[in-house]
Amino acid sequence: MNSTLPLAAVAPPLSAGLTLAAFGTSPTTFLAVLVAAAVFLFARSKPAKGPLPPGPPGLPILGNILDVPKSKPWVRFAEWTDQYGPMFTLKMGRNTMIVLGRAQPAIDLLDKRSNIYSSRARLIMTSELVSRGLRMTFMPYGDLWRRERRLLHQLTSPASAASYEEIQEMESAQLVRDMLDKPKEFWGHCQRYAGSTIMQIGFNKRAPTPQDPAITRMRNINEMMTKTAVAGRYLVDSLPILNYVPTVLAPFKREASTIFDETLSLFRSHVLDVKKNVEEGRDAHCFAKYILESQQSYKLSDNEAYFLAGALYGAGSDTTADGINTFIMSMVTHPEVQAKAQAELDSVVGRGRLPSFADQPDLVYCGAVVREILRWRTVIAGGLAHATTEDDWYNGFFIPKGTIVLANHWSIHLDPELYPDPTSFKPERFISPEGKLVGTKFSDAGHHAYGFGRRICPGKHIADRSLFIVFTRLLWSCSLRPALDPATGAEKPPSVHAFSEGFSSHPLPFDCRIEPRGEWVKEVVAQAVEEGEAGWEARKG
Ligand code: HEM
């Protein structure tokens, strides 16, 4: 999920301008666009039945479209939270958007009233045309989404997630070896870990190198899809009437079809490989196998089943890789946290083996580090917008049906009342005086990095396990330190503020020193890699 998706989802790109280039077509069609635009812009919206939450004033017709920055809108939303309160309204052309800047309204609405707060904003290009309504992340709240979520619920429950721990142990052992062998390429290793892990869980396939086609082809498809979500790129998202233009006159529809066909063909080939393996008696413990087994009882068409299995890659690989990269930056910039976590690892695990999932209950400080990473630089800073399916009232404000409701993860996680001294990186905030892991009054996990309500990330138990095993194994084996300035020899820590612009974001490229913590490391890691590969040989059938 690496895109500027939320802005596209919430800010219909009227500011793109009604130019020929924006539509990319003939003068006749352009005229039709102008007429459609005029009808669209000047049609009267329904009067509200009550007061909306306050918000910045905005312009006639355009509303706040020009006020919302394309770059890191969540930072401006945090400022507006301070100014207008825990929920504020933005008018995005004809669309109403309510931003929830604190956990309380997000819990009250998205969690407690999830029966009417669980749809998505309409994304014509990315969801309806490029994905033909088959990508769960963008699906409106309806029958297909419900059936798919019910099935995913079984595949990603804590017990099911635990059944994939062997994969995460194997891939994390290789990750540590790769980091020590080629430390400069650490970002590629994070991406390989995340991609290969999700390919094994999804299709019982793996990627031993970052260049392996098993992940590069999935990544390319994902990038093609996410580029279509860039705000302002497709006029049809601002002027839905354009969706009625016949394909022959609409280049965007032909482009969407090409992406859809390529995506479907790739997802289908992965699922059919699993089907063939199973038919030939090779057992494969992976999502695709269980989706095929359940296809009839959940009334999924073939294409729905292929997309359900395939689209998990897009949702789960960049997010996980971004979380690991953020962890490396955080450790490089917080040596005192690193030292404390390593002391805990030395005392609980010792030096004769890598940490394992069985150590989790005893690694309290390391557990707190995982939580603090997900809070301090939460992976999806801007959240993923929900939409309402009924009119509603909350604290005296009216929230009309069809409102886009965005929980701003950035400001929720930097709320000084919930997290004193919120900008500091302090894992201790999640440890009670008795030495136990604690959350907040709103969340046992202590954060909301996986979202809210019925749309909460279904992969969260898998993701949490990945972050725990990767963080503890990297800390156990490596010392993560700032790069040295070649001229002065002084340490040059990376910026803690320089993050990618995407939807799921990671630190901008930085240098650091990744070195083994001692002589004991190499042999232990080599043995874990060997055991992992033996396990894979047995699993792949
Ligand atoms: C650190 C890693 C991850 C983070 C931070 C993350 C976060 C999120 C967030 C914030 C959402 C939107 C929730 C909402 O709408 O309120 C989401 C949705 C989703 N995530 Fe994750 N995720 C991660 C990993 C994964 C993994 C590993 C998988 C798959 C195995 C996955 C599958 C999905 C899917 C399918 C959705 C769409 C759910 C829907 O719309 O109903 N995610 N994730």
The answer to whether the beta carbons of residues 386 and 119 sit under 8 Å apart is: yes
37 occurs within a structural domain: no
Band (94; pLDDT cuts 50, 70, 90): confident
170 occurs within a structural domain: yes
pLDDT of 13 above 70: no
Provide the CATH number for the domain around residue 216: 1.10.630.10
pLDDT of 51 above 90: yes
The verdict on the CB of residue 459 being under 6 Å from ligand 1 is yes
34 occurs within a structural domain: no
Residue percentage of the chain with pLDDT more than 90: 84
The verdict on the CB of residue 249 being under 6 Å from ligand 1 is no
84 occurs within a structural domain: yes
CB under 8 Å to 490, separation ≥6 — which residues? 484
129 occurs within a structural domain: yes
CB under 8 Å to 534, separation ≥6 — which residues? none
pLDDT of 119 above 50: yes
Atom of ligand 1 lying closest to residue 287 CA: 30
Band (318; pLDDT cuts 50, 70, 90): very high
Kindly report, residue by residue over 457-515, the tens digit of the pLDDT.
Answer: 999 999 999 999 999 999 999 999 999 999 999 999 999 999 988 778 899 999 999 99
Band (103; pLDDT cuts 50, 70, 90): very high
- Predicted confidence at residue 18, as pLDDT, reads 30
The answer to whether the beta carbons of residues 405 and 109 sit under 8 Å apart is: yes
pLDDT of 11 above 80: no
pLDDT of 5 above 70: no
CB under 8 Å to 168, separation ≥6 — which residues? 197, 465, 466, 469, 470
The verdict on the CB of residue 354 being under 6 Å from ligand 1 is no
190 occurs within a structural domain: yes
First to last CA, the chain: 31
The answer to whether the beta carbons of residues 196 and 208 sit under 8 Å apart is: yes
Q: Are strands 397-399 and 478-484 parallel, antiparallel or unpaired?
A: unpaired
Compute the distance from residue 115 Cα to the ligand 1 centre, in Å.
19
Atom of ligand 1 lying closest to residue 323 CA: 1
CA distance 435 to 522: 32
Kindly report, residue by residue over 149-185, the tens digit of the pLDDT.
Answer: 999 999 999 999 999 999 999 999 999 999 999 999 9
Q: What is the ipTM of this complex?
A: 1.00
Residue 489: left (phi > 0), alpha (psi -120 to 50), or beta? Answer: left
Q: Which residue has the higher pLDDT, 31 or 56?
A: 56
Output phi, psi for 478, to 5 deg: -120, 150
- Predicted confidence at residue 501, as pLDDT, reads 80
Compute the distance from residue 362 Cα to the ligand 1 centre, in Å.
27
Question: Residue 50: is it exposed, middle or buried by C-beta count within 10 angstroms (0-12/13-18/19+)?
Answer: exposed
CA 382 vs. chain centroid, Å, equals 10
Rounded mean pLDDT of 396-404?
Answer: 96
The verdict on the CB of residue 308 being under 6 Å from ligand 1 is no
Q: How many domains does the chain have?
A: 1
33 occurs within a structural domain: no
The residues with which 96 forms a beta bridge, in sequence order, are 91
Q: For a ligand 1 pocket test, name from 111, 457, 468 the mutation site with the most ligand atoms within 8 angstroms of its C-beta.
A: 457
Compute the distance from residue 534 Cα to the ligand 1 centre, in Å.
31
Long-range Cβ contact pairs of 249-257 (< 8 A, separation 24 or more): 249/25, 249/26, 249/29, 250/25, 250/29, 251/24, 251/25, 252/23, 252/24, 252/125, 252/129, 253/129, 255/228, 256/125, 256/129, 256/130, 256/228, 257/129
CA distance 537 to 531: 10
CA distance 143 to 124: 19
Q: Which structural domain range is residue 332 located in? A: 51-540
Rounded mean pLDDT of 114-122?
Answer: 96
Compute the distance from residue 139 Cα to the ligand 1 centre, in Å.
13
Mean pLDDT (the chain, rounded): 91
- The answer on whether 457 is annotated among ligand-binding residues is yes
The verdict on the CB of residue 380 being under 6 Å from ligand 1 is yes
Band (230; pLDDT cuts 50, 70, 90): confident
Residues in the chain: 541
230 occurs within a structural domain: yes
Rounded mean pLDDT of 190-214?
Answer: 96
Kindly report, residue by residue over 432-449, the tens digit of the pLDDT.
Answer: 999 999 999 999 999 999
The verdict on the CB of residue 312 being under 6 Å from ligand 1 is yes
Kindly report, residue by residue over 125-144, the tens digit of the pLDDT.
Answer: 999 999 999 999 999 999 99
3-state secondary structure of 277: helix
Protein residue with its CA nearest to atom 37 in ligand 1: 137
Band (124; pLDDT cuts 50, 70, 90): very high
